[in-house]
Amino acid sequence: MKYLFDQISFETSRNVTKKYSTSFSMAVKMLSPSIRSAIYSIYGFVRFADEIVDTFHQYDKDQLLNDFENEYDKALKHGISLNPILNSFQQTVRKYNITDDMVRAFLKSMRADLTKSVYHTREEYKEYIYGSADVVGLMCLKVFVNGDEDKYNELKEAAMRLGSAFQKVNFLRDLKDDYELLNRSYFPNVDLSSLNPKSKTIIIDEIEDDFNYAFNHGILKLPVEAKFGVYMAFRYYRRLLKKLNRVPSSQIINTRVRISNPMKINLLARSYVKYKLNMI
């Protein structure tokens, strides 16, 4: 009956995705059924680690994260875990040859959130984003190409740039919570308490560059099983960026933009038309 436990494990990861992110869950539904469970399992793993460092304030976060990593190591070694999230993730890691350096880089960035609050240099900033976002894009790419190493190497940079763009949009959207509640400032040499128009423009332009590269060098070349789902996530975050760009720099820390459900449906419909007309 092991298959039932595995089925429940992947369903748990799917439920975590649906509860924590309706937008990402919608994008995953646009992927081929053959790869959805694997992407859910990746999201479940990274979401639980992120929750530990961001929200479990009344507990020993450092111990929880250490326990989470140790339990993952045991799951990977033995091929099973009684933690459904780790059980599904280790299966995806094994099946799609997700390399250990990706997982460790991600956990390193999560651990940095426990001790580091300000990023003073571009090098520190880029290292954090690589671990917290770029490698997640690479994990997903491993699933998308399903063992095609030539395709993986071709799309690797684009996957990282898309992960970076998503993370930077999140930084802008969550400025208030990150700065005021968690005491974090990710953008180097930027005074978030009085963000000026020039600094905001530089950040927006940098994200736009990432999006453009990811679209032209990655999304357009993705396997058919993944293309529409990734394009949907791209459209959603691109729309968030446009809304953020319209918010005055002096007000952005007090504004948390979101995409309404009707707009999400509208984005889905228009994106589907483009996809069916082979415009992406």
For 5-19, 89-103, 258-272, which range has the lowest pLDDT when averaged over its residues?
258-272
3-state SS assignment for residue 82: coil
For 82-96, 99-113, 203-217, 251-265, which range has the lowest pLDDT when averaged over its residues?
251-265
* pLDDT level of residue 218 (50, 70, 90 thresholds): very high
The mean pLDDT value for 101-126 works out to 96
Q: Does domain 2-276 have CATH number 3.40.50.740?
A: no
pLDDT tops 70 at residue 179: yes
**Reported pTM:** 0.94
The whole-chain average pLDDT of the chain stands at 93
pLDDT at residue 274 in the model: 77
Question: Exposure pattern of 117-134 as b/e (b: 16+ CB <10 Å)?
Answer: eebeeeeebebbbbbbbb
The mean pLDDT value for 30-52 works out to 97
* Domain boundaries along the sequence of the chain: 2-276
For 24-28, 122-126, 189-193, 211-215, which range has the lowest pLDDT when averaged over its residues?
189-193
pLDDT at residue 277 in the model: 65
